[in-house]
Structure 1
Amino acid sequence: GDARGAGRPTGERSGRPTGDARGAGRPGEARRDSGYRGTGNPAADRYAAKKSGAGKPRQKPSGPRAFGGERFGKDLGPVRRPKAARTSRPADELDMHNPDGVRLQKVMASAGVASRRVCEEMILDGRVEVDGTIVRELGVRVVPSEVSIHVDGMRLQLNEDLKYYVFNKPRGVISTMEDPEGRPSIGNFLKNKNKNERLFHVGRLDAETEGLLLLTNDGELTNRLTHPSYEVPKTYYVQVRGPMGPGIGAQMKEGIELEDGISKVDSFKLIDSTPGHILVEVVLHSGKNRVVRRLFDAVGHPVERLVRTQIGPIRLNDQRQGSIRVLGRQEVGHLLASVGL
């Protein structure tokens, strides 16, 4: 037993340095005790010490951790930083707050804006107005039928009794709900459940004109969409005989004298051309009777086919002719916003 350590310097045993000898050969460097005890191989010890951080001063946190957030990583998710302090008043001090109402974020989610969680973020970001006041508190309760709510400037339609439809009118159909002469009318295309609703058609299309008609029981919207002061743009596809001489588009933009005054288009664009026929897109906000047909008659290109494809923000797209579809909530919001509702 006494011979095991023979020939070895005091403080060494089995080739492993003792505590006093661990830092030998590294003057001026204090090793941090990381639990590592060495192997006896100098190169291996230096590598292991480097990996464990021994001998390196402790650094201050930087990046996300310095701001109290979580380290960004694939497994930990994105950085979360504290929200800036808000200076808005408590919910119960706001004029529109009704303790017997429904939470604002729930009303928004029910109106199809987004999930309730996203609606809460919208409120905190100041993107929601109630009766003209920006709300930044999650505790606000409202009675939907008694308030006006706007999100990013777009009004939410909260009255479930108001209906909004798009009808793709075929040629030969009269723009009335019923026709005493028995001609095809809008009412012929309404389903049984819609016939009990008192609907108005917004504007008119003559019997030979096809395309988009709005149907609604919202009287205020109907008045604004048809009133000239709101200048709601309408888009038409017009097929005429070709070729068409130069300058026709510029002439229509400048204005053409008709029997009831000067009328003009907002834009004029050539869409397609085939031998003997031309397809043109025009946009105008005039509500005069048969104004598109009369404009093209005035420049010597009588209309062969006329289709209205858009009113304000509402598009016909690929909706089947003769069909009626319900407007989506966002479409209704954009439509209301276009006339200041």
Structure 2
Amino acid sequence: MRTITLRRSLAALFVAALSFGAITQAQAEALRIGYQKYGTLVLLKAKGSLEKRLAEQGIEVKWTEFPGGPQLLEGLNVGSIDFGVTGETPPVFAQAAGADLLYVASEPPAPTSEAILVPKESPVQSVADLKGKKVALNKGSNVHYLLVRALEDAGLKYSDIQPVYLPPADARAAFERGSVDAWVIWDPFLAAAEQQLQARTLRDGTDLVDNHQFYLATRSYAERHPQVISALVEEIRAVGEDSKSDPDKVTEQVAPLLGLPGDITAIAVKRQGYGARFITPEVVEAQQKIADTFTALKLIPRKLSIAEVIWTPPAGKVAQAAQ
């Protein structure tokens, strides 16, 4: 009798241990999101709706800020985050470097939210005048492609300029002290330089680039947690729709997060694209063109296939996204 009782007790303890382990694992499950200083993810983080939605599934949301897209995708590549947002070019460089990522969704084009700047009193009056000049940019960022296209449109080669690869804060410092002749940058850094430094816009992305913002995930996370990724995109889309309908409210929310005055923040907010959608064939085609451009310039070592790294949403989610 004692033996039977002991066995039953041990069995009960074993079941309890398994249950506790399952609960602990569920509690420990996390979605790690990388974001930059500006964009829809900043608004989503402030809103807190994603945390509430995923808490019901026992998933904790953890946020990590990055200074730019290349740095964020390096975090994605080494496994420190599961999901993040960047401009058009960083995913191309990341894929070329072997990162196992997937494109999940994109925002509408926002070509005016990136530009080539020169100091107010600069003698440079056109992109063609940049020949032989030092141009600061974040290597592999969205503005890298803008610079390539602008030079091409002006009849110049990339080799006709002296690229100076710097992250935004260092690039602004170099621009202010006159160590570089031009700076290619995105919002809100762009809006801040225009207003605070009276920097002159030489050329923005209009008629040159789409300047999509892309949401990406590690392949392993997206394949293991398709419903979480879908929920995340739905929350991003909802925040974007709210932003389109009330840009003044967004400005009020974002300005203190950026540490910028409201008038500067408002400029950036109004130039941004809102309304995340799953990736369409047209977006794949545009992104393939960017990849092929950098391959031709020998800035990436091999030809890429963008179609091979597009995430497929669960059945029914694509139709919902189109509504």
Same fold flag (TM > 0.5): no
Higher helix share: 2
Q: TM-score under structure 2 normalisation? A: 0.23
Higher strand share: 1
Greater relative contact order (CA < 8 Å, ≥ 6 in sequence) = 2
Q: TM-score under structure 1 normalisation? A: 0.22
